[in-house]
């Protein structure tokens, strides 16, 4: 497994990062023991970087997954907290739940612009204090927005930026793939540590997995890429690919056989673009929200590519 320095944080992270949204209650809803096995399998294969968020509900899975592991495991978490009290509560929850003395990286969740960050500045000030106290080693933002990457790059308080980036540009809210790449390069030149998310576009690029992985791995400015995994075969597949090895055919078959489903997040705005894009007639608007008929859904991911709110996922 390749390891890279994450900006100026002093943290060397594995190029593959375990994204834990997929194992938690918002998606696959694995039990703590099941989720811990996925995490442990990745760690045993050389991964040392885990990505989570307070919202994901996966702290217990991670705690069990890293229990007894002797080498350093780097954990990044995030919170929507916008004030000092809220962020302090978020950090304390993470420390208590993970049973750790510090969290390696703590991010403001889904920032959209400079103005969003300024609206959360009390939370930033607390994180800076927590960093001085040794409770947090690095801080920054996660974002689906190009303008947020550019703004955070100019703010000396932030060490790390986690942008959405994938070959199709799925989920980027305020522009396209090339604009996001340019922002990533600008941030890297300014010394920020960067690691990507949604390489598979929330599952919408599963039929283009190798192309999608080759694309994100070609972005030299990314120290790591967080990839969701909820099955042992997915861990084996991802580790092999990120290490530049041929993926065993047995593993390919197991990943292909995994039963997938399409989910629509509850923040759907009911714009109807997905309904128009679906050629299978599987989507409709009910009560102002998109609804899927799973019997008709082909899991092609075309609907997800046009969702302006990135609320359509394939898991």
What confidence tier does 99 reach under pLDDT thresholds 50, 70, 90?
very high
Angle at which helices 84-98 and 59-66 pack, to 10 degrees? 40
What is the arithmetic mean of pLDDT over 229-256? 95
Confirm or reject CATH 3.90.25.10 for domain 262-314, answering yes or no: no
pLDDT band at 27 (very low <50, low <70, confident <90, very high): confident
Mean pLDDT of 206-227: 96
CA 191/CA 32 separation, integer angstroms: 37
56 assigned to active site: yes
Nearest-angstrom CA–CA distance, 167 and 215 = 6
Residue 304, pLDDT above cutoff 90: no
Which of 56, 59, 126, 195 is catalytic? The answer is 56
The per-residue pLDDT for range 249-276, each reduced to its tens digit, is 999 999 988 888 899 999 999 999 999 9
pTM confidence score: 0.90
For residue 107, what are the β-bridge partners? 78, 140
Would you call 165 exposed, middle or buried from its count of C-beta atoms within 10 A (0-12, 13-18, 19+)? buried
Q: Quick check: 147 and 140 in contact, CB under 8 A?
A: no
Superfamily assignment of 3-257 in CATH?
Answer: NADP-dependent oxidoreductase domain (3.20.20.100)
| All structural domains of the chain with their residue ranges | 3-257, 262-314
The tokens describing 45, both together, are: 């294969």
């Amino acid at each position: 497994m390749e390891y890279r320095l994450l900006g100026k944080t002093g943290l060397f992270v594995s190029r593959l990062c375990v994204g834990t949204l997929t194992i938690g209650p918002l998606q696959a809803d694995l039990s703590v023991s099941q989720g811990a096995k996925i995490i442990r399998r990745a760690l045993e294969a050389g991964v040392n970087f885990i990505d989570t968020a307070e919202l994901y509900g996966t702290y217990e899975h991670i705690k069990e997954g890293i229990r007894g592991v002797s080498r350093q495991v780097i954990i990044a978490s995030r919170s929507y907290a916008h004030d000092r009290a809220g962020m302090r509560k978020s950090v304390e929850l993470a420390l208590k739940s993970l049973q750790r003395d510090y969290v390696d990286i703590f991010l403001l969740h889904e920032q959209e612009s400079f103005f969003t960050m300024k609206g959360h500045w009390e939370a930033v000030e607390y994180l800076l204090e927590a960093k001085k106290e040794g409770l947090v080693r690095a801080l920054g933002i996660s974002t689906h927005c190009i303008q947020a990457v550019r703004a955070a790059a100019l703010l000396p308080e932030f060490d790390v930026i986690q942008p959405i980036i994938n070959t199709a540009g799925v989920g980027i809210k305020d522009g396209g793939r090339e604009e996001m790449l340019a922002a990533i390069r600008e941030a890297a030149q300014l010394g920020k540590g960067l690691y990507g998310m949604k390489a598979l576009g929330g599952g919408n690029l599963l039929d283009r997995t190798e192309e999608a992985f080759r694309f994100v791995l070609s972005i030299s400015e990314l120290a790591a890429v967080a990839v969701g995994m909820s099955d042992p075969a997915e861990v084996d597949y991802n580790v092999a690919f990120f290490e530049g090895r041929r993926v065993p055919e047995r593993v390919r078959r197991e990943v292909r056989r995994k039963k997938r489903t399409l989910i629509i997040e509850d923040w759907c705005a009911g714009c109807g673009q997905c309904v128009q894009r679906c050629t299978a007639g599987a989507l409709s608007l009910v009560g102002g929200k998109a609804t899927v008929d799973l019997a008709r859904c082909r899991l092609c991911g075309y609907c997800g590519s046009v969702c302006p709110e990135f609320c359509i996922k394939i898991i």
